[in-house]
């Protein structure tokens, strides 16, 4: 079961929801794995108190051109969708920072002048946090422009017999799309503000276009922001929890503490989110081909 | 010598396009034959990435020895350098003016990219 917790921008309480949901599920005796896909700014380990026991490098394929064999025909450069190859007479240049490692140039080169090398884009660390929660995250190398392959590799560390709580990167870029690609449930965390609503609309559209089951958690809720309520009604979006506004939440967060330990009042809200996760997981088991209708 | 100038128009009086990778087209002026050649770059206008290096490949293929443009990013600059093409930055309003300034030796060669590339 893969549950992605996402929000359009940072700072809406996405990580708070992800961490506390993981805590709650672990306290229910479930096997939980926390997967932090925010590879550009991973911080879930801090909240989960993760101790890493394994560290691997993540690589992507990088083509190299043998200039001796290259006939400067230009096939590779014409076919590369990412504009990562330039053919100049006697010098075919590859731009690693643009290359997506798709391998097409290797296939199309008639002179077989291109071979495979690899390039490290980041590292993947995994281990254990409190409450027996398995933890894995990726750390993208500084200056590395392509988070997507690393996110994919981080998700490959997912344990199929665990409930995977996946912390999505902020925004609705290709990183977000990659993160939700195989999600069974997407929980969008939003705030009752015009900015929050704007981002919610975009993320909802992206997730819906990919046929995802979507639930909404409203953070810092005061129930008075009409445009948000209207949007949720219009879209028939299911609200699984409304977390009340409380100054103490930010304090707890800044100390890296667990909200549900410090403010037990919030447990009922997470109990509703967990119930939704269980319901979805049951639906999943009962659907014939393992996918939801 | 062939000089490629970034422009949004199609003749010497046309305005210069200050962008390199996403310039509408290049006007290539041959100082030996006084001939003009227009090279389209519009396929790069919507490129998500790598517009600069493809534009650099395009001007290299057109046989240019010199590029005059407003701004050139680091990757395009690397390609132009590898192709042995000199880059001159120029803020002139029209192509003609830019050519004039170049002829008088008033333009400076860019020794490095003057704008950072951006990721999308
Ligand atoms: S591997 Fe793919 S992205 Fe990279 S240079 Fe080759 S064709 Fe382009
Ligand atoms: S396809 Fe092969 S031979 Fe042709 S330019 Fe590219 S590397 Fe050279």
Per-residue pLDDT at A263? 85
Do the Cβ atoms of B50 and A91 come within 8 Å?
A: no
**Which residue owns the Cα nearest ligand 2 atom 4?**
A73
With bands split at pLDDT 50, 70 and 90, how would you rate the model's confidence at B118?
very low
- Assess A88–B contact: CB distance below 8 Å, yes or no: yes
Question: Residue B53 belongs to a domain with what CATH number?
Answer: 3.30.420.130
Q: Among residues B36, B35, B40, which one has the least CA distance to residue B25?
A: B40
Pocket of ligand 2 (CB under 6 A): A 65, 70-76, 87, 92, 109, 111, 113-114
Q: Among residues A169, A234, A160, A161, which one has the least CA distance to residue A197?
A: A234
Pairing of strands A85-88, A91-94: antiparallel
Task: Provide the residue range defining the domain that includes B11.
Answer: 2-103
CB-CB neighbors (< 8 A) of A93 in chain B: 53, 78-79, 82
Q: pLDDT 10s digit of each residue in chain A, 293 long?
A: 999 999 877 777 889 899 999 999 999 999 999 999 999 999 999 999 999 999 999 999 999 999 999 999 999 999 999 899 999 888 899 998 889 889 999 999 999 999 999 999 999 999 999 889 999 999 999 988 889 899 999 999 999 999 999 999 987 778 899 999 999 999 999 999 999 999 999 999 999 999 999 999 999 988 789 999 999 999 999 899 999 888 888 888 888 888 888 888 889 999 999 999 999 888 887 765 545 54
How far is it, in rounded angstroms, from Cα A266 to Cα A23? 12
CA distance A280 to chain B (A): 35
Per-residue pLDDT at A255? 83
Q: Please give the residue that has the higher pLDDT: either B115 or A15.
A: A15
- Domain membership of residue B28 (yes or no) is yes
How far is it, in rounded angstroms, from Cα A175 to Cα A40? 10
How far is it, in rounded angstroms, from Cα A12 to Cα A127? 27
Per-residue pLDDT at B120? 28
- Domain membership of residue B116 (yes or no) is no
How far is it, in rounded angstroms, from Cα A149 to Cα A130? 28
Q: Enter the ipTM.
A: 0.74
Per-residue pLDDT at B114? 62
Interface probe for A, chosen from B48, B75, B117, B118 (most Cβ of A below 10 Å), is B75
Per-residue pLDDT at A288? 56
Give exposure, B59-96, as e/b (b: 16+ Cβ within 10 Å).
bbeeebbbbbbbbbbebbbbbbbebebbbbbbebebbb
SS3 A239: strand
Per-residue pLDDT at A293? 45
Per-residue pLDDT at B119? 39
- In CATH, the number for domain A2-58+121-286 is 3.40.50.300
Cβ neighbors of A170 (< 8 A, separation 6 or more) are A7, A8, A9, A10, A14, A38, A176
Cβ neighbors of A101 (< 8 A, separation 6 or more) are A60, A61, A62, A149
Which residue of A87, A97, A98 is in closest CB contact with B57?
Answer: A87
Domain-wise residue ranges, chain A: 2-58+121-286, 61-120
With bands split at pLDDT 50, 70 and 90, how would you rate the model's confidence at B116?
low
**Architecture of A61-120 per CATH?**
2-Layer Sandwich (3.30)
Do the Cβ atoms of A88 and B78 come within 8 Å?
A: no
- Domain membership of residue B110 (yes or no) is no
Total of domains in chain B: 1
How far is it, in rounded angstroms, from Cα A46 to Cα A44? 5
Cβ neighbors of A156 (< 8 A, separation 6 or more) are none
Pairing of strands A163-167, A134-140: unpaired
């Amino acid at each position: 079961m893969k549950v992605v917790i996402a929000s359009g921008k940072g700072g809406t309480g996405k990580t708070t929801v992800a961490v506390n949901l993981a805590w709650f599920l672990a306290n229910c005796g479930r096997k939980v794995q926390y997967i932090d896909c925010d590879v550009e700014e991973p911080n879930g380990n801090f909240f989960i108190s993760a101790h890493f026991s394994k560290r691997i490098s993540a690589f992507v394929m990088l083509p190299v051109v043998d200039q001796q064999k290259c006939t400067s025909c230009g096939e590779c450069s014409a076919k590369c969708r990412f504009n990562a190859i330039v053919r100049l007479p006697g010098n075919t240049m590859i731009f690693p920072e643009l290359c997506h490692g798709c391998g097409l140039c290797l296939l199309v080169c008639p002179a077989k002048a291109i071979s495979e090398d690899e390039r490290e884009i980041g590292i993947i660390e995994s281990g254990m946090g409190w409450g027996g929660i398995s933890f894995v995250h990726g750390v993208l190398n500084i200056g590395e422009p392509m988070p997507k392959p690393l996110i994919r590799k981080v998700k490959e560390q997912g344990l199929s017999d665990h409930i995977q709580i996946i912390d999505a990167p902020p925004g609705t870029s290709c990183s977000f799309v990659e993160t939700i690609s195989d999600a069974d449930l997407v929980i969008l965390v939003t705030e009752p503000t015009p900015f929050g609503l704007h981002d919610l609309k975009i993320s909802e559209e992206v997730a819906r276009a990919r046929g995802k089951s979507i639930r909404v958690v409203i953070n810092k809720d005061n129930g008075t922001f009409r445009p948000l309520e209207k949007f949720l009604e219009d879209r028939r979006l299911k609200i699984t929890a409304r977390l009340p506004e409380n100054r103490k939440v930010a304090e707890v967060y800044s100390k890296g503490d667990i909200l549900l330990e410090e403010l037990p009042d919030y447990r009922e809200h997470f109990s509703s989110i967990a119930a939704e996760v269980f319901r979805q997981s049951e639906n999943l088991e009962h659907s014939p081909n393992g996918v939801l209708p | 010598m062939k000089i490629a100038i970034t422009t949004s128009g199609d003749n010497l009086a046309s305005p210069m396009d200050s962008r390199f990778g996403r310039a509408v087209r290049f006007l290539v002026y041959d100082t030996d034959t006084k001939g003009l050649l227009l090279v389209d770059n519009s396929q790069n206008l919507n490129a998500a990435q790598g517009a600069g290096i493809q534009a650099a490949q395009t001007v290299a293929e057109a046989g240019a020895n010199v590029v005059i443009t407003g701004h050139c990013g680091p990757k395009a600059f690397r390609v132009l350098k590898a192709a042995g093409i000199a880059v001159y930055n120029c803020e002139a309003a029209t192509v003609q003016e830019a050519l004039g300034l170049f002829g008088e030796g008033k333009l400076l060669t860019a020794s490095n990219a003057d704008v950072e590339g951006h990721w999308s």
